Structure 1
Amino acid sequence: MFNRGFLFLAGLSAMITTVSAQAESISTTIHHHYQAPRALGMGDAFVAVANDYSAIFYNPAGLARREDGQINLSLTAGGTPGAMDFYNEFQDIESSNQTEQQKQQAYLELIEKNYGEVYSMRIAPMEGFWVRPNWGIALIPADLSVEMAMHQQVGPTVNTTVYADTTLALSYADDMKGVNHGRLSWGVTGKFVNRGFYSRPISATDFAGGDEIIRKEDMLEGYTIDADIGFLWTPELPDSGLWSVLRLASPTVGLVVRNVAETGFGSSLKLLNKEAQSGTPEKLYRVVDIGTRWEYPSMWIFGGRGVLDVRDLGHPDFNWRKGVHLGFEFDWTVSTWWKGHYRVGLKEAFWTAGISAELGIFNLDFASYADDVGTRNTPVESRVYMTRLNLDF
């Protein structure tokens, strides 16, 4: 799966033809700068959990509550099941001995056959995290995602959106002193993001007119320096009466303001595209995420938590259907080196599920979730499957 997926994205990066006069693609998907399979399995509701290395991006305040260090190295790949089939058919047409006109007709029929479908792939060949009590650092050299939506506009077209991000992030967190009746933690993640971005509709004529689908010269590029600020609050409840039951659940509330500066990608290092640009990549939007977490009572080797988040408040494509995230996580622990998790949830009104298995330093995460790729009034499900291989120290 990893080899085919990586080759698919590599092929797309080496593919896209010049269509400079065209408008941007139409996409209503809310793109998240970072995603973790663990969170996605539980509805992508993680703001008030944030108790592993991914807290750097989900809620840096979680680092204030770490009691030990963690180094995580991983490879992540995911996508919609039909993406590889579409790419294979595309490759068959491209490598055939047909004339350009015959290829154009074949591409047109391929797009028409897939009308209404939205295919996506996302690969991060290497991610590195190092977190300790109160601080953390993350390096993601390449996070490449591609979305292709089949539409009938002037003619059959593929609305194509590509994000190619390189990220370096530093986090610091601590507890606020002098807080009565509970524990209040805060944290901040400063991040440098270099983004390559492509958003254009591609027609059958474009496909047939050249050997490339997307060229580096057609990608917009820029970098930004921004920050996320997060908070976690666990109230101190009375130990008598009904409150004692709630106290066992250790309710926690989280809040994160993402991309506080929202300065956009106005400057470029010209790592991908050395040519002059007529625009900038899609910015990191300033949004607010809020969430709650409730722990289940531990029984034998089992435990877990329930979570409810409202995410992406302030995003131009936000609505309540997309914003509400709900999840449940069930832990099981045989020993410190053998444990795992099961997860279910709702993300953008579609079901999610996930599983993790940890055996020593070798970890495997799997998640299935869906993006809402429809309009504000008409939800459309695009099912995605994601896998992450981890070395965890």
Structure 2
Amino acid sequence: MFKRGSVLLSATLCTFLLMNSARADESISTTIHHQYQSPRALGMGDAFVAVADDYTAIFYNPAGLARLENGQVNLSMSFAGTPGAKDFYDEYKAIEDNAALSDSAKQQAYIDLITAHFGDVYSIRTTPMEGVWVRPKWGVALIPMDLTVELQMHRSVPAAIDTKVYADTTLALSYGDDFNWFSNGRFSMGITAKFINRGFLSKKLQAIDLANSDQIVRKEDLAEGYTIDGDIGMLWTPEIPGTGFWSWMQLVRPTFGAVVRNVAETGFNNSLKLVNKDQTTENLHPEKNYRVYDLGTRWEYPRAWIFGGRGVLDIRDLGHPDFNWRRGVHAGLEFDWFVYNWWKGHYRVGMSQGYWTAGLSAELGIFNLDVVSYADDVGSRNTAVESRVYATRLNLDF
């Protein structure tokens, strides 16, 4: 809890402190956290609902599994971070390791550090290992650890760091198939069942908290819980007549998609204590995965020589409490180049949450490299604040 230096505390505040209210310590971050992110999708504005043509269909739109022509095994590791995050940590560590500082001097040094970075936002997201196996119509994915840490320097009194942490372990099973419900085109549906164990922290960390601990975030501070939920997705590619006014659409082959994520919205109300074995406060639960609705469309370019590609437009996170149209609109372009089955790649550009994105992929045999730059909107619903992120993923693709 916050510690006040003044001796003129009101009776109301004393009562508030004694109640140990968790709300006062909560971070005020309104960033929309996506339980899974693909560098390929992020490069094209994170608009992928109507594409979903690779192993990431499990998490973006399971209906895409019905349209896979070949199996795929993908093993990967990824890292994403904001510029300056390491420099900030180095400054923090220099204070922490300075044995000559008294407790009060160390606390003042942390206040000065936070004050010097007012308005800055630092984040990292890392997945040390991810494994996905898909075949036509079905797939399975295991992500042992997906860690996200966001630190936002906040102008509160006293100065504090709005801190948010997600530590997820995910097991997902998916199935998709075609349904002849519409004679006009191809209609596919899919479902992904997900087990997610989450460690979670949402807290304002003051200088005194940093001075009293040798880590910015300790696993003992994490609330933990697990959930079992599911996503339901669909894809529809209409049949285009060969003659008449609409025949030109055969060149772009439009596809439309929709996904309902976290259908049950059950929350993380039970704990296996896999992350925080010492958790004792049973009424503290991680932030739930909200039931949201994603809509998308894809338009293919006519292929020319070794090049092809597509344009995409999504509306994402409809129904999320922090949704607004600035954050919800995602659009992008992807350009393919294909020399051989073992030598190919993609270039991408887009807009996500009002900010530009760009990325590329290069595949040589079973080795695949993805790099991308994108931005999260970490401001309020009424005021946009950009947090630029750079990410890379190393893949073995069989």
TM-score (norm: length of structure 1): 0.94
Aligned with residue 258 of structure 1, among 250, 257, 261: 261
The whole-number CA distance in structure 1 between the counterparts of 2:217 and 2:251 is 54
CA distance in 2, matches of 1:214, 1:39: 30
Deviation of 1:20 (Å)? 8.1
CA distance in 2, matches of 1:102, 1:181: 73
1:281 aligns with 2:281: no
1:295 corresponds to: 300
Whole-angstrom CA distance in 2 between matches of 1:186 and 1:369? 30
The residue number in structure 2 matching 1:31 is 33
Deviation digits for residues 29-56 of structure 1 (CA, Å, limit 9, x no counterpart)? 0000000000000000000000000000
Matched residues in 2 for 1:89 and 1:240: separation?
67
Are the aligned partners of 1:20 and 1:218 in contact in 2 as well (CA < 8 Å)? no
SS at match of 2:42: helix
Paired letter, 1:325: H
> The residue matched to 1:123 in structure 2 has which SS?
strand
What are the superposed Cα offsets for residues 125-170 of structure 1, whole Å, 9 maximum, x if unpaired?
0000000000000000000000000002121100000000000000
Q: CA deviation at 1:287?
A: 0.2
Matches within 5 A, 1:51-130: 51-97=53-99, 98-130=101-133
Q: Is the CA contact (8 Å cut-off) linking 2:42 and 2:357 kept in structure 1?
A: yes
Does the aligned pair in 2 maintain the 1:118–1:149 contact within 8 Å? yes
| CA separation of 1:152 and 1:178: change in aligned 2, threshold 3 A | closer
Question: How many angstroms apart in 1 are the aligned matches of 2:180 and 2:307?
Answer: 33
Query: Which segments of 5 or more consecutive residues in structure 2 lack a partner in the other structure?
Result: 1-19
Retained in 2: the 8 A contact 1:249–1:296?
A: yes
3-state secondary structure, aligned to 1:282: coil
From 116, 126, 141, give the equivalent of 1:138: 141
Question: What's the CA shift for 1:177?
Answer: 2.2
> Could you tell me which residue of structure 1 aligns to residue 309 of structure 2?
304
Letter in 1 for 2:62: P
Q: In the TM superposition, what is the alpha-carbon distance from 1:123 to its structure 2 partner? A: 0.2
In 1, Cα distance between equivalents of 2:52 and 2:369: 19
Larger radius of gyration: 2
Offset at 1:242?
Answer: 3.5
Cα displacement (A) at 1:248: 1.7
Aligned residue identity for 2:312: V
Q: Which AA in structure 2 matches 1:359?
A: L
Give, in whole Å, the separation in 2 of the partners of 1:72 and 1:216. Answer: 29
Task: Find the aligned partners of 2:230 and 2:315 in 1 and give their Cα distance.
Answer: 20
Aligned-residue offset at 1:301: 0.3
Please identify runs of 4+ aligned residues in structure 1 that moved more than 3 A.
19-22
Query: Residues of 2 paired with 1:109 and 1:23: CA distance?
Result: 21
Contact 2:45 2:349 in 1 (8 A): yes
Name the SS for the 1:261 alignment partner: coil
Superposed CA deviations along residues 94-123 of structure 1, whole A, max 9, x for unmatched, are: 111211212111111111111001110000
Look up the SS of the partner of 1:310 in the other structure.
Answer: strand
Does the Cα contact within 8 Å between 2:342 and 2:364 map onto a contact in 1? yes
**Structure 1: which 5+ residue stretches go unaligned?**
1-18
User: Does the Cα contact within 8 Å between 2:181 and 2:187 map onto a contact in 1?
Assistant: no
Aligned with residue 390 of structure 1, among 392, 395, 398: 395
Q: Pick from 327, 334, 338 the counterpart of residue 333 of structure 1.
A: 338
Corresponding position of 1:373: 378
1:212-227 equivalences under 5 Å are 212-227=215-230
Q: Give distance in 2, aligned partners of 1:225 and 1:334.
A: 42
**TM-score in terms of structure 2 length:** 0.93
> 2:369 touches 2:395 (CA, 8 Å); kept in 1?
yes
Does residue 239 of structure 1 match 2:270? Answer: no
Q: CA deviation at 1:178?
A: 4.6
Structure-2 separation of matches of 1:20 and 1:352: 40
Kindly indicate whether the alpha-carbon contact (under 8 Å) linking 1:366 and 1:387 is maintained by their aligned counterparts in 2: yes
Report the Cα distance in structure 2 between the residues aligned to 1:50 and 1:311, rounded to whole angstroms.
15
CA RMSD across the alignment: 1.1
Identity %: 67
Give the stretch that moved more between structures: 173-182 or 230-239: 173-182
User: Which residue number corresponds to residue 366 of structure 2?
Assistant: 361
Q: Distance in 2 between matches of 1:230 and 1:206?
A: 44
- Tell me which amino acid in the other structure corresponds to 1:141: P
Q: Give 1:47's match in structure 2, choosing from 33, 46, 49.
A: 49
- Separation of aligned partners in 2, 1:289 and 1:275: 35
1:7 aligned residue: none
Please name the residue that 1:182 is paired with: 185
Check whether the contact 2:193–2:229 (CA below 8 A) recurs between aligned residues: yes
Name the counterpart of 2:232. 229
